[in-house]
Every structure is written in structure tokens, then in C-alpha cells.
Amino acid sequence: MGDFTHFNDQGRAKMVDISDKEETVRTARVRSSVRVSKEIYEAIQGNRIKKGDVLSVAQVAGIMAAKKTPDIVPMCHPLPLKAVDITFEWTVENTYELIIDVTVKTKGNTGVEMEALTAASAVGLTVYDMCKAIDKGMIIGPTYLLEKTGGKNGDYRHDI
């Protein structure tokens, strides 16, 4: 049976000891999305030019949230983030889906999956917040790890 690393002998969560782990450059790339109505899609796209850029607010929120990760995810170690980047793309077929890609980089003793996942979540939440006056039926996520590099356990790539 798989075993958790986050629990002590008393069966209570701990912040696991990473003092022996190597300090290397580590990256994580995460994908999330927000499915929106046609009306919201057009408002976001149209407004970027004329009236206000929803995505630029969301992306600031994502970068700030990456830095807050150890304050949001209880057992997460504080890490010196070296880079955070967020890009957007639309998938417009029958539905209108905003694709959110987040890349985080550190040089530290443990990976930055949680930082990238947290940033992506905050981006989705902020898009929802800015557009909810138009329609509350938006769907945030699914959110998942695309890829990680660095660290003892080797690289990871999401199967598609």
C-alpha cells in the first residue's frame, strides 16, 4: 500500500525533513482552465482593447498566490521562487475554454508543483470573480501537473 510521508508516529501531519535533499534547479508546469459562456468570452476578448483586461488581473493574482503557497497549503515548505510565468490560450469549439498554463522555477531542496498548482488555482478564481456579474455558471479546472523537472525522483510528464 502506498505510504504517506507527511505523518509522524502519532499519526499526525508534519512538515517532512528535506534538509538532506539536494539543492537543485527545479521546475513545474501546471495546466488549469475556466469554461465560460459565450458572453463572457466576448467580454474578456473585447475588453482587453477597450475597457479593461481581466486576464492581466488574474495573472497578477496567480504570481502573488505562488508566493503565498506555504501559507495556503499547510505542510508545504517555504521555497525561494526564482521565476513564475503564466500564459493564456483560448479553446473555442462548442464551448469557450480559457487555458491557463503556469511555470514555476526554484533552486531549492524540494519541488514547486504546489506553487504552480496554487498559482493556477488563483488565476482561475480571479477570472471567476471578475466575470461572475455576467454569469455564475463558470467551471474552474480541472487543474493538474503537466511536467516537473529536477530533484532525485527524476522528471515527471503527465500522460495524455
Note whether 152 binds a copy of itself by CB under 8 A.
no
Q: Which residue lies nearer to a copy of itself by CB, 25 or 92?
A: 25
**Which parts of 15-54 interact with a copy of itself (CB under 8 A)?**
15-19, 25, 32, 35, 39-40, 42-43, 46-47, 50-54
Dist CA 54 CA 58 (whole Å)? 6
Residue 94 lies near a copy of itself (rule: CB under 8 A):
no
Q: Is 159 helix (H, G, I), strand (E, B) or coil?
A: coil
- Rg over alpha carbons for the chain, rounded to the nearest Å, is 18
Is residue 128 close enough to count as binding a copy of itself by CB under 8 A? Answer: yes
Which is catalytic among the residues 3, 17, 85, 129? 129
CB neighbours (10 Å) of residue 77? 17
3 state SS of 107: strand
State which residue, 73 or 92, has the beta carbon closest to a copy of itself.
Answer: 73
Cα–Cα dist 122/115, whole Å: 11
User: Is 129 annotated in the active site?
Assistant: yes
C-alpha cell at 13: 501531519
75 annotated to a ligand binding site: yes
Per CB under 8 A, does 130 bind a copy of itself?
A: yes
Among all residues, which ones are annotated catalytic? Answer: 129
